[in-house]
Structure 1
Amino acid sequence: MSEPTAAAADPALGPLRHRRDLQSLAYLLLQPALMLWQWRHGIALPAYLAMLFLAVGVSVIHHNHAHLPLWRKRALNRATDLWITALQGHPTCVFHPAHNRNHHRHRHGPGDLARTWRFGDHNHLLGWALHPLQAAAVLYPAILRWLAALRRRAPGAFRWCLLQYALWLVSWLAALAIDPFKALALVILPQLFGLHWLLGANYLQHAHADDGARYGYARNFGGWVNPLLFNIGLHTAHHEHGRAHWSRLPELHRRYRAAIDPRLLEPGLAGYVLRTLVLGPILPRHRSRSLRARGAAPAFKEN
């Protein structure tokens, strides 16, 4: 194998941890720019649809930043935490108890509070639509317990989380005070759309997967979802290397592909959603069937 080039050896760009995150920064700037433009000039369907897509993109960036911060400087990461909080409509700090300490530790197994089969071992459109609400209902008590413990053992970190909550709530209240209709249409609904996708992606990636198999706990997607949304479809590699930068996931995915059940390797997200969630209830041959052995214990150890 040839020696890596200097650019490959050091992918950073100034304080930015990886030069590929110029795409992340573009999304983080373009989404509010479209919101402000429509706030001033009125809602335009192409711009609104682009803003909804970017709201999903912000959710993925939120996820990636929680695993591996965008910057090599703490002050810039703190500023990005606040920027994502304002754009996402929810504090970035909750990713640690809800996702890193829960979902990644238990890999959709019995210890995962928001495992999809906790709410029924199904894989259909209604299950996907309800999963974010069900997941939030079981995750938020754990988040509140974590915050209470944080207040006792790390008051400074607790105050940082409170600042994020305050920023989120003040931003909503300020927008509503200026113009309630525009606030709902251009700020709150797109943020809720992004949050629904963030939690609903868990359902797409794990429903009817097999948490008892070593590499069977996640579904993987190819296609355009990966270049557009930071390789979010390559989920097994991400679970196995939670601190790897998202740009490395295609090469890491190739290591695991042969060990993953072919039924968990989808050529594209849109085709999977159409076949499984839309056509499945109508045409039995497209209906999803669980790969999980009921009552089986996970075959892996916790991180």
Structure 2
Amino acid sequence: MKNTKDIRTLFFLLIIIAVRILLWWIEPSYYLFWLPFIIISVFILYSIKHNHLHYSVFNSKVLNRFYENILGVFTGTSMSGAYVIHLVNHHKENNKSNDWGNTNQFTHKSEAINIIRYACITPIKFLKSKRKWLQNTVNKKRVVVRETESRVIICTYILMLIFKFEATILYIILPHFLGQLVLVSFNYFQHAGCDPFSKYNHSRNFTGKLINFLNFNNGYHTVHHHFPSAHWSEYEKMHLLIQHKIDVDLNEHNFIYYFIRLLFSRNGKILKQKTPESLQNLIV
């Protein structure tokens, strides 16, 4: 292991996998009660996957490949696909016009409608753009790895469907689809209304303790774009070093409070943060 802070990463991973396999196996009643937990767990695994993409957990290539395939099965998407969408495209373009996840193309006066449209349309655009990139790339090794990862995911799902069809749909495949929508929406929250050409105001940061505990400091998005190879455990300290250079309205203390303000905003104008500090830090 390269960094001992990833012991927490592995702990989260093992707990989530164990609970989700248990739910799949016993198929408990009150499915809608468990669904939010499952979706949140997928989002956490996406955060783990994202961090591994930038800073691999193990020194061993074999262990990293095994780890990546486990993440692929429990998120429903391959690591190589994430590499193309996130590293090759997003970090290069950073919400400019050639970014496949560009938020600026959604301009309805209601941000609620923009979020829904972005979450529904962007995954399809990701899929088409990724396929085109893989067809045209000279890096054929990346294509082979991606195909291998995809086969592992598909074969695992086929076996699970044969063994427990309904449980696999409800507890594995559907949550992965919904988790993808949540993940894509989070990219909208991090970049919508920001200036992609600004050195420090290209991203929105969520600095709440809980959200950064759950998503392994991915709330500190500006510093992540500045230092993409840094380990996630360093983001908070690094963010504090440049915080004064970022527009105060792009450092959100509470994600829930931001989300509510965003839903009620009109014409791209988000209500200012005017909540007492005690409330801002209450949840996330």
Q: What is the TM-score of this pair, normalised by structure 1?
A: 0.81
The Cα shift of 1:171 comes to 2.3
The answer to whether residue 160 in structure 2 is matched with residue 178 in structure 1 is no
The answer to whether residue 246 in structure 2 is matched with residue 260 in structure 1 is yes
Q: Which moved more, 1:132-141 or 1:200-209?
A: 132-141
Residue aligning to 2:226: 240
Match for residue 259 of structure 2 among 255, 273, 279: 273
Structure 2, gaps ≥5 residues long: 272-284
Residue aligning to 2:178: 193
Amino acid at match of 1:280: S
Residue aligning to 2:71: 84
Residue aligning to 2:270: 288
Residue aligning to 2:274: none
Residue aligning to 1:227: 213
Deviations 1:149-177 (A, max 9, x none): 34xx4444322211111122222222222
Q: In the aligned structure 1, how far is the partner of 2:7 from the partner of 2:34?
A: 21
Percent of residue pairs bearing the same amino acid type: 23
Residue aligning to 2:111: 124
The answer to whether residue 11 in structure 2 is matched with residue 26 in structure 1 is yes
Q: In the aligned structure 2, how far is the partner of 1:249 from the partner of 1:122?
A: 34
Q: In the aligned structure 1, how far is the partner of 2:37 from the partner of 2:124?
A: 30
The Cα shift of 1:48 comes to 4.7
- Residues 132/167 of structure 1: CA separation in 2 closer, same or farther (3 Å cut): farther
Match for residue 43 of structure 2 among 48, 52, 56: 56
The Cα shift of 1:112 comes to 1.5
The answer to whether residue 148 in structure 2 is matched with residue 163 in structure 1 is yes
Q: What is the TM-score of this pair, normalised by structure 2?
A: 0.86
Deviations 1:31-57 (A, max 9, x none): 221122122323266655433322110
Give the count of matched residue pairs.
Answer: 268
Deviations 1:118-175 (A, max 9, x none): 233767223223323322232223211222234xx44443222111111222222222
User: Which 4+ stretches in 1 moved above 6 angstroms?
Assistant: none
The answer to whether residue 237 in structure 2 is matched with residue 251 in structure 1 is yes
The Cα shift of 1:208 comes to 1.0
RMSD: 2.2
SS at match of 2:88: helix
- Residues 148/269 of structure 1: CA separation in 2 closer, same or farther (3 Å cut): same
The structure number with the bigger radius of gyration is 1
Match for residue 188 of structure 2 among 190, 203, 213: 203
Match for residue 94 of structure 1 among 71, 81, 95: 81
Match for residue 106 of structure 1 among 69, 93, 96: 93
Q: In the aligned structure 2, how far is the partner of 1:267 from the partner of 1:86?
A: 33
Amino acid at match of 2:21: L
Q: In the aligned structure 1, how far is the partner of 2:35 from the partner of 2:12?
A: 14
CA contact (8 A) 1:64 1:246 kept: yes
Structure 1, gaps ≥5 residues long: 1-15, 290-303
Amino acid at match of 1:34: V
- Residues 44/21 of structure 1: CA separation in 2 closer, same or farther (3 Å cut): farther
CA contact (8 A) 1:113 1:138 kept: yes
Deviations 1:190-209 (A, max 9, x none): 21222222211110101111
Deviations 1:80-117 (A, max 9, x none): 11111111101110122211111111221223221101
- Residues 128/60 of structure 1: CA separation in 2 closer, same or farther (3 Å cut): same
- Residues 67/179 of structure 1: CA separation in 2 closer, same or farther (3 Å cut): same
CA contact (8 A) 2:217 2:236 kept: yes
Residue aligning to 1:13: none
Q: In the aligned structure 1, how far is the partner of 2:7 from the partner of 2:214?
A: 13
